Amino acid sequence: MAQHSSKGARFQAVTANRLSDGEVVYLTADNQWAETFPAADIADGPEAGDALMARALPADFELHVLEPYLFEVLQDGTDYKPASVREIIRAAGPTVRLDLGKQADAKRES
């Protein structure tokens, strides 16, 4: 499994791609896969990150998602945000068409 988080990262989340449509998804506190980053369960500390990753890998995970992995998250006041450019792009959607995907949804909601 790929890991896109430094070993010393305090906050981490788990992401993967849903098999049915390739959508980027995040593991939630109730062990579901959500399409938006704010729904992600955030682990505080390396041990919590390991436990979060273990929850993402039940015996049948490969029926639902492709290669879940931990990534680093930064605390921004009371909110969290992805730390790397890669994960910021995955959370926001395509960068070439702001009228499509999650970026367009965010504009419609505001």
Assess whether pLDDT exceeds 80 at residue 94.
Answer: no
**Residue pLDDT, tens place only, 26-46:** 999 999 999 999 999 999 999
Please tell me the total count of domains within the chain. 1
Q: Is residue 4 part of a domain?
A: no
Mean pLDDT of the chain: 89
Q: Is residue 2 part of a domain?
A: no
- How far is residue 60's CA from residue 4's CA, in Å, rounded to a whole number? 23
Residue 81 lies in a domain: yes
pLDDT level of residue 4 (50, 70, 90 thresholds): low
Q: What is the mean pLDDT of residues 5-10?
A: 70
Please give the model's pTM, rounded to 2 decimal places.
Answer: 0.84
- Domain extent, residue 66, equals 11-109
Q: Residues 56, 68: contact at Cβ < 8 Å?
A: yes
Q: What is the pLDDT of residue 7?
A: 62
For residue 18, what pLDDT band results from cuts at 50, 70 and 90? very high
**Maximum CA pair distance of the chain?**
39
For residue range 35-79, list pLDDT tens digits in order. 999 999 999 999 999 999 999 999 999 999 999 999 999 998 999
CA separation for the pair 80, 99 (Å, rounded) = 25
The residue count for the chain? 110
pLDDT of residue 109: 72
